[in-house]
Amino acid sequence: MKTVIRLDQLKGIEMRSNMRILVVAVLLVSGMATLAQWRGGWSRVTRESARTAREIPQHGMETPRWTNAPGFERDVFAFTRVRYGRGGRDGRWHVDLPDAELNLSWRLQQITAMKVDPDGRIVNLTDPDLADYPFLYIVEPGWLWLSDAEILALRKHLLNGGFLMLDDFWGEREWRNCEEVMRQVLPEWSFVELPLDHPLYSCLFRITSKGQVPNVDMGIKSQWTGITWEREDAKVVHHRAIFDDRGRMLVIAFHNTDNGDGWEWDGSDNYYFRNFSEKIAYPLAINTLFYVMTH
């Protein structure tokens, strides 16, 4: 049955409606805050405070969870991302977080004999437990800046057996910045271009070229444009490494390519997965990890 509203009732209805609008607005804001809290796992964890990648909600398909043998949870490979830039507040350290490392960790657990930490790690270079994580990953080192304390901590880590992977930076300006920072960390050695006959390219998968992984949008479009580089001075992919006097690889830098996007977006588009994730990003990462763990 319809309700008939008389004209003399409109003023009261308008006042009540305004109150309802105010109440709804308050509830909406409260609900949005609750949703944000729920997406973060009912916690106040942020990228700047998180200790694991798993604490950050994934934006793609959530990777499976798995467990390792009781008592050996720490005796596994842990993908460890470095938080840089004044406490992580203004750096680009979090690009591709958390999908990149969680997807790569799952692939390692799935297709290799490696036992892998299912959550990944996020560290500051000055953390007291840094030595517990021999593999370090820095994304977008073209914008890298380290304090004196961080430079000393990274140097000590690498000289004591640690390893650093640098990824996703483009063009000569970004290369110069990366090279300069690493010169501060390891002034006695320089980057050298890794030849394709180096054992890293054949220790598991046979890699015969230095393929370029574009960001996912450009990669999908590349099936029509043929363009995979982000700028004109970034067409040629470089794999450069720093070795100590004994020939141990301390650092590898993947320049003019974005392996992190290859891991991050491996389920977003079939063309991108087949041509960039499956053919380039995953084999290169897996070979790199196997090489440094056995040398």
Domain boundaries, the chain: 7-39, 53-294
CATH superfamily ID and name for 53-294? Domain of unknown function DUF4159 (3.40.50.12140)
Of all residues in the chain, what percent carry a pLDDT higher than 70?
Answer: 85
Q: How confident is the model at residue 4 (pLDDT cuts 50, 70, 90)?
A: very low
Query: Is residue 127 a contact partner of residue 150, using CB atoms and an 8 Å limit?
Result: no
d(C-alpha 279, C-alpha 272), whole Å = 10
Radius of gyration of the chain (CA): 24
Checking if the pLDDT of 35 tops 70, the result is no
Q: Which amino acid is at 154?
A: L
Tell me what pLDDT residue 89 has.
73
Is the pLDDT assigned to residue 21 strictly greater than 50?
no
Are the CB atoms for 288 and 226 separated by under 8 Å? no
| Amino acid letter, residue 33 | A
More confident call, 218 vs 75:
218
Q: Which residues of 211-220 are buried (b: 16+ CB within 10 A; e: fewer)?
A: bbbbbbebbb
pLDDT digits (tens, 9 = 90+) for 82-133: 999 977 777 899 999 999 999 999 999 999 999 999 999 999 999 999 999 9
pLDDT digits (tens, 9 = 90+) for 22-34: 333 333 333 333 3
Judge residue 289's burial from the number of C-beta atoms within 10 Å of its C-beta, 0-12 exposed, 13-18 middle, 19 or more buried. Answer: buried
Q: Is the pLDDT of residue 2 over 90?
A: no
Q: What is the mean pLDDT of residues 242-265?
A: 98
Check whether 217 has a pLDDT greater than 70.
Answer: yes
Measured distance between the N- and C-terminal CA atoms of the chain, rounded to whole angstroms: 82
Q: Which has more pLDDT, 99 or 35?
A: 99
**Which among 220, 222, 195 has a CA at the least distance from the CA of 208?**
195
Two tokens at 68?
Answer: 């390792």
Please report which confidence band the pLDDT of residue 50 belongs to, taking 50, 70 and 90 as the band edges.
very high
Report pTM.
Answer: 0.85
285: Cβ contacts below 8 Å, ≥ 6 apart: 104, 259, 263
